[in-house]
Amino acid sequence: MSYNGEIVKRFITLAFFLPFILGLLGQTENWQVYSPANSVTSLSYSNSNLWVVTAAGIMRWNQTTNIRTQYNQYNTPYPSNYFKTSCTDMNSNLWVGGLYGAMRFNGTQWDLFDVNNSGLLHNDVIKIVTDHLSAVWFATPLGVARYYQGNWQSYNSANSSLPATMVINDMAVDPSNGIWLATESGAFCFDGTIWHSYTTSNSTLPYNSVKFVDFKASGQGWFGFEQGIAMYVSEIWVFYTSLSGYSLIELDDVYIDSSERVWLYNNSYMLCFDAGQFLNYPITLFGDNPSSFCTILVDDAQNIWLGVTDYHSPCSLIKFDGSNYSAYPHSAIPLASNFVTSIFKGFDNKFWLSTSEDKGNGGFFSLDDGNYEIFGQHNLDMPCPHVWALAQDQQLNMWVSTCLGLLRTGPQGSEIFNSSHTGLSGSEIQTICAVSLTEVWIGNVSGVSRYSNGVWTLLSSIETGMNLAHTKRIKQDPSGRIWIGGQAGLCSYFEGEWTTYTEVNNVHDIAFGRDGAVWVAEGELSCLQDGQWTHYDTTNSDLLANNLRTVAVDQNEAIWAGTYFPDCVVYKYADGSWTSFNGSNSPLSGNSITNIYVDANNTKWIGSKYLFLFNENGIPVSNDDPITPVVKSLGNYPNPFRGTTTIRFNSINSGTIKIRIYNLKGQQVWQSDYASMQQGTREINWDGKDVRGNSCAAGVYMVRVIEGAEVATHKVLKLK
């Protein structure tokens, strides 16, 4: 599809990861890690927070502030990113479980529970539910555990009538606070004292292999089997293979919402049993790519949230109102596949990232003031999903290198170029650089070709003075000079003149310092400044091996360089000193560093298998929206905001209150004085305009509340 209405835009606020919002958020971390997943394993909801649980970790999406926060093995005690189950208890704590035990999150702190510090009988937590007395129950392969007010109680064959070997598929709570297990050996119910078993031999249970279970508030239970559904009332199961003409065979799960609607689903369709009739929602209703339903949740506002499996797009989270749907990513940063191949800021002032992997999915996406656009084969006529290189020209066309051709898509429409156009053999373009309004240079194993005003021209070694085969990187420095790095070395072009540098070879990446230095990753780290070369290798630096492949210069003129497989090390070189980051002191482990980009906040975006964000001064995360909200002495909501925001503060005494709002230059843009304001919590609205009524620009503003000698200050973020 093209920009002329064919590309489907999906906009969501990802405000926590914009450079200027980082200063607004409380808790800081040096590292953040993002990885892809194609399905949602569990959904939970509490106090405006939607919790999206996947194989890539946990995303908290605050529906009031629209802030997304990602949690995984790098910022929680859990040793894995894969979680199976979740629930929220009556105290609004989140509980999640997987292969390594369970975790509880109270809004500020994660606590890990496993067989060593709890009553869990096995670390593989299959299902977590909370009962009507606020106890939390955990189903594991070796039995069931109950947690209540800091105390644990376990149930297995040693202290109950539960069998010694039992495969638990599901767990639910009935209106009488009975705990039900759906197992391969029948159904079991705990009445608070003993466990009761129900099988085909002692009850009307139709089959012993029970796949799922849930209960209505009325007491009606729904039990699922491969062969159909049984409705349970007063010790009697009534079995159905179809209802209202819809097959109930081989369903995957059941979910009963607060409105007593029954939701049944499998790979192909979702059935809603409401007021005595079934509604059928086929998987094809939610786009061309979802292959199955994974989980369902209805929130307090009666929004229907669906987790689906989608192998083509990271938009596996669907919000459905019964008629229309919107698809969202399941992660705070929507990576389509594992390997990040490009990171840069385009001429449109958006962040652009591309991904690829040896097989399966790929694609690219943009980030802009909290909004994102995702592109791939699900919404774009890409030759294949794997993006090897990505660039944007000054006319805002995107140039996308795939293994089956080069795609240009944008305001001028879409066009695919191959070797017959570019003159380069092979389609795997390794590097793309837009050098002017109408000119783009590309390079791969067979050389470099230029595109200008619709014409492709192949560069020759005679013209450039260097063999351009195996070109790895083409970049343009701030002065407009074009640099080409490859197997044969480095050359540059400026105003019709070529210069060749024989001092380096096998160049993988190029970066430019504000002091005019040109840094080159060529296995070694080399620097060209004022016509002189300086080389750093294992003999005169802290490099462990001469295997650097990417380089960047940060806002403080420190040099950052990354290695290729298998070491996966990022080096920082500043003021003559070296610092290294690897698997022993960072999340980096076991893969090549493909690229490093430094943003205006001096955060390093490190592309590898997964996306790594690093900042020595800390990357704040959005813990300003805890599960249980607390009243602050000064705050505002929503934050960030676009139209109007409400400033909330506590007045210490009845008297004069002065409110001042400043931009980051220290200029006062708005003020309001209140001669008499009652003591207590007070709120005033700011419409984002200055004292003359003009709309203030997007950015960070300081709110100052003055009450006598007491002064409180708070940061707010205004979006476009």
Alpha helices, DSSP H, located in 406-541:
419-422, 461-464
Cα separation, 468 vs 343, in Å, equals 24
Is residue 453 one of the residues assigned to a domain?
yes
d(CA 40, CA 319): 13
Contact (CB, 8 A) for 414 and 381: yes
CATH number at residue 702: 2.60.40.4070
| Residue 621 DSSP symbol | -
Q: Is residue 651 part of a domain?
A: yes
List, in sequence order, every beta strand (DSSP E) within 495-531.
497-501, 509-512, 518-522, 524-529
**pLDDT, position 235:** 92
- Rama region for 186: left / alpha / beta (φ>0; ψ in -120 to 50; rest): left
**What is the distance between the alpha carbons of residues 671 and 647, in angstroms, rounded to a whole number?**
13
* CA–CA gap between residue 220 and residue 232 (Å, rounded): 6
Residue among 142, 100, 96 nearest 124 (CA): 100
Single residue among 458, 490, 522 that ends a domain in this structure: 490
> How many folded domains does the chain comprise?
2
Structure confidence at residue 637 (pLDDT):
78
Spell out the SS3 assignment of 303-363. CEEEEEECCCCCCCEEEECCCCEEEECCCCCCCCCCEEEEEEECCCCCEEEEEECCCCCCE
Q: Is residue 461 part of a domain?
A: yes
* CA-closest candidate to residue 485, choices 461, 507, 503, 464: 507
Is residue 310 situated within a structural domain? no
Q: C-alpha distances in angstroms, 688 versus 12, 21, 608, 660?
A: 21, 17, 40, 13
Structure tokens at 710: 């007491």
Contacts of 41 (CB under 8 A, 6+ apart): 53, 54, 55, 83, 84, 85, 294, 295, 307
Measured CA to CA, the distance from residue 256 to residue 139 in angstroms comes to: 20
CA 675 to chain centre: 47
Distance of CA 214 to the CA centre of its chain: 31
Residue 365 lies in a domain: no
Q: Pairing relation of β-strands 645-651 and 304-309? A: unpaired
Q: What is the sign of the dihedral through the CA atoms of 23, 26, 30 and 35?
A: negative
Question: Six-digit token pair at 226?
Answer: 């491969």
pTM for the predicted model, two decimal places: 0.78
Other Cβ atoms less than 10 A from the Cβ of 55: the count is 18
Domain span at residue 450 reads: 423-490
Q: What are phi and psi of 419, to 5 degrees?
A: -60, -30
C-beta of residue 560 within 8 angstroms of C-beta of residue 549:
no
- What is the CATH number for 450? 2.40.10.500
User: Strand, coil or helix: what is 697?
Assistant: coil
Return the pLDDT at 26: 33
CA distance 390 to 350: 13
Residue 579 CA to residue 614 CA, distance in Å, equals 14
Query: 454: buried, middle or exposed (CB in 10 Å: 19+, 13-18, 0-12)?
Result: exposed
Structure tokens at 325: 């749907």
At CB < 8 A and 24+ separation, what contacts does 278-284 make? 278/243, 278/244, 278/246, 280/246, 281/320, 283/308
Q: Do the Cβ atoms of 172 and 215 come closer than 8 Å?
A: yes
Q: Give dist(CA 471, CA 201) in Å, integer.
A: 73
Residue 666 counted as domain residue: yes
* Structure letter (DSSP) for residue 106: -
Using CA atoms, how far apart are residues 495 and 671, in angstroms rounded to an integer?
Answer: 53
Instruction: Check residue 493 and give its pLDDT.
Output: 97
3-class SS of residue 15: helix
In the chain, which residues have pLDDT < 70? Answer: 1-28, 358-360, 369-370, 620-633, 652-654, 664-665, 676-679, 709-710
Sign of CA dihedral 87, 89, 94, 95: negative
Cβ-contact 560, 570 below 8 angstroms: yes
Q: Examine residue 438 and state whether it is found in any structural domain, yes or no.
A: yes
Is 78 domain-assigned?
Answer: no
Q: Cβ of 408: how many Cβ atoms within 10 Å?
A: 20
Q: Which residue, 466, 490, 514, sits at the end of a domain?
A: 490
Q: Is 463 helix (H, G, I), strand (E, B) or coil?
A: helix
The residue from 457, 490, 523 where one domain ends is 490
